[in-house]
Amino acid sequence: MGVETFTATIALIGIVILVASLLSGVVERTGVPQVAIFLILGVSLGPIGLAVFDLALESPALRAIATLALVLVLFSDAIALDLKEVRRNSRLALLLLGPGSLIPAVLIAVAARYMLGFHWAAAAIVGASLASTDPVLLRGLIRRQDIPAQARLALRLESGMNDVVLLPIVVLSMLFLRTPGEEHATATRLALGLFVLGPGAGVLVGLVGITLLDRVRKKVGVRRDYESLYALGVAFTAFAAAEAAGGSGFLAAFAAGMTVAALDVELCDCFLDYGEATAEMFLLLTFVAFGASLIWRGLEVATVTTVLFAILALAIRTVVLFPVLKRAGLDRHSLRIVAWFGPRGLSTLLLVLLPVFDGIPNAEQLFTLCCLVVLMSVVLHGSAIGLIVRRSPSQPSGAGGVAARPVDGAQVVMAAEAAPSNAAASNIDRADAEMPEPAQRITIDEMEEMQRAGEPVVVLDVRTERTFGSDPFIARGAMRMPPDDAVRLATAHRIPWKATLVAYCA
């Protein structure tokens, strides 16, 4: 077993946070696949590099990292869903999660059966794992406001929800690779855990968590940054509760996220503001762990047959989605983007690791095959995403296709006076060598006085997309500046460096 010291683990976490933070602007502007960067970082820290760490498949540390990563993937996908948006686009969601996810899984399984000679159950595991669209690789593309709104919506729905459809296929297929004679009894218990105990525990933990938070909020208040940590606590508690009850902790995490999304918008926005960054760092840490040595095992099984299978596995989704999504009414440009950009990445590896951790015979063969497909997907889809990001024209108009209409001055003043703590001003001077001044509170009267004096003042609407979607009105003359796309939009708007920025979020 490789080096797994406490110091090495702390060093790895620190390096991932430093590199992710320093390169965040470069990744956003150039479209360079963030995943590729961290796979290379894993190589440099792995056994052929600095030998800081090396995780084997049987490593308890890898199991812990992969389990927590899958919990975070499912929970963050669920909590980021706008259920009103899902209901408005229910036909699109059903097409993506039904035929759009299940048909590729079946076709890939058939290919694995007849091209590679896998047992039907093993082929089903491969098919379900490789039908999973990776939210980490797609994150940069989905955040782009210059990508058609329909395309971003479809990719967000697919990457946010298809894992919960494919996970039961993986878990149930594992039964048929165990000792004969135990399938019936085990299947009954497992089905109960998958479809009843797991989701039930997730909903219960979500309800209890939201109720407790609401009561504490009303009595003594809760700091916003701590609410993001609270959301992560809900995810891990739901997982543990379901596992203790004999259910699926992964489905419990997804159900808890859905419950939070349905009942507590404030906590959802808070998680998206702060907690999502924490989750993303952990997912990138997982990519570094795989990049040290494990994912490169896919190259060891690269033969003519396996490469052809990998190409077929990546192409099947595109072939299936063209006829499927034509029925959803997508425009041609959006249809091409959605059909092509279906990368396989972390979620695929996490799903196919479940039989490995369960001790299924020959499960390592399934993992290495999926590693080959993921590596090819990172090259093909990652480079294509980077290309489209670099070539896409800027669209400074704002909010993902939603036309924001100005309101009159009296309404703006009332909103600002009702929540003065939500307005802040910051002055940025490009010529100064000093760091910019910290944000300060500012009133409407103070802002208007600055404007009358001729000072450059830029008003920014920095509400999250979820909050903006529920009330798509902005102050007259304000710029829409969602926090997850601020760097690109600020550049596109050519905001003066010596301007005073007045930001409001409610």
Q: Which two tokens stand for residue 372?
A: 């080959």
Q: Which two tokens stand for residue 157?
A: 């729905």
Q: Where are the alpha helices (DSSP H) in 31-148?
A: 34-45, 60-79, 83-88, 90-97, 99-116, 120-130, 135-142
pTM over 0.85: no
What are the pLDDT tens digits along the chain (506 aa)?
Answer: 444 456 766 777 788 778 877 877 777 666 666 777 888 888 888 888 877 777 788 888 888 888 888 898 889 888 877 788 888 888 998 999 899 999 999 999 999 999 999 999 999 999 999 999 988 778 777 777 778 888 888 888 888 888 889 999 999 999 888 755 555 556 677 788 888 899 999 999 999 999 998 889 888 888 777 877 888 899 999 999 999 988 889 999 999 999 988 886 667 666 666 666 777 777 788 888 888 888 999 999 999 999 999 999 999 999 999 998 888 888 888 888 898 888 888 889 999 999 999 888 889 999 999 999 999 998 888 777 656 555 554 444 333 333 333 333 323 333 333 333 334 444 433 333 344 444 567 777 788 888 888 788 888 887 766 667 666 677 777 888 776 666 667 777 777 767 788 887 65
Q: Count of residues for the chain?
A: 506
Contact 371, 293 (CB under 8 A): no
Pairing relationship of beta strands 457-461 and 500-504 according to DSSP bridges: parallel
How far from 276 is each of 78, 84, 141, 204, 289, CA to CA, in Å?
12, 21, 16, 23, 20
Q: Which two tokens stand for residue 219?
A: 């009595």
Where would I find the beta strands (DSSP E) of 400-491? 405-407, 423-427, 440-441, 457-461, 473-475, 479-480
Q: How far apart are CA 106 and CA 124, in angstroms?
A: 7
Domains and CATH numbers, the chain: 6-42+60-391 (1.20.1530.20), 405-504 (no CATH)
Pairing relationship of beta strands 479-480 and 423-427 according to DSSP bridges: unpaired
Query: Exposed, middle or buried by CB within 10 Å (0-12, 13-18, 19+), for 128?
Result: buried
Largest CA distance in the chain: 84
Residue 3's nearest CA partner among 70, 49, 68 is 49
Q: Specify whether the backbone of 474 is left (phi greater than 0), alpha (psi in -120 to 50) or beta.
A: beta
